[in-house]
Amino acid sequence: MSAEQTRERILAAASELIAEEGIDSVRIARIATRARASTALVHHYFSTREELLTEALERAFELAAAERFDSDADPGDDSASAALATAIRQCLPEAGPDEGEWVLWVELWLRAARDPELRPVAARLYERYRDWVAEIISDGVASGEFSCDDPRRVADVAMALFDGMGLRVLLNDPGMDIERAQREIAATLAGELGIARDALVDSRALRV
């Protein structure tokens, strides 16, 4: 196994443990065990625990971003509405890998709130997130589907909805399940964009 593969295995193990146990509980020895490596090997690649955990968070988000931001909407529908409906679904914590990504987001928020050195990382990830949503909206404006003077402002509204309602879904709030979150987000963004709510409903994930 190459050095890069070993390093990636260690980072993957760290990401898994952060999602499972919380960042403050993760120790180098546990990461080494999960990665099937010695603690000495872990320290060979990462000089401190903080360096490893920070890189693990960054790696997890870069992988999620590459999969999410570079993916296409339903190939049967190349409209901006379909792309935004897919984005709504992807940005909420469905059971499975998306839920794990969400736990990592929460860990990043908590860590950045306590550690000013991590805030630029969070800001960079959010900027990429915002660019992705704003591009979808801009495409809809260009095609005539959406009516919007400021796509980046609406992207900020969308992200606030994703984060706020998504956290309630993650916490199993009985007043906000994932289907209600999708309906409410679709309704709010549809109003911002001058379209019908149903245009932003992803039928693969939402029963209306």
**Rounded (10°) angle between helices 97-114 and 119-143:** 130
Length of the chain: 208
pLDDT digits (tens, 9 = 90+) for 185-198: 999 999 999 999 99
Q: What pLDDT does 54 receive? A: 83
Sign of CA dihedral 14, 16, 17, 18: positive
**Average pLDDT score, the chain:** 87
| Average pLDDT value for residue range 87-107 | 82
Enter the CATH code of domain 1-53: 1.10.10.60
Q: What pLDDT does 68 receive? A: 67
Distances (CA, A) of 204 to 71, 85, 89, 117, 162: 16, 10, 9, 40, 18
Enter the CATH code of domain 71-200: 1.10.357.10
Report how far apart the first and last C-alpha atoms of the chain are (Å, whole number): 49
Which DSSP state fits 197? G
Six-digit token pair at 169?
A: 């879904």
| Average pLDDT value for residue range 150-172 | 96
pLDDT above 70 (res 98): no
pLDDT above 80 (res 62): no
**Beta-carbon count within 10 A of 158 CB:** 25
Residues with Cβ within 8 Å of residue 190, at least 6 apart in sequence = 196, 197, 199, 200
Q: What pLDDT does 59 receive? A: 82
Q: Which residue has the tokens 């495409």?
A: 139
pLDDT above 50 (res 33): yes
Q: What pLDDT does 73 receive? A: 46
- For the chain, which residues make up each domain, given as ranges? 1-53, 71-200
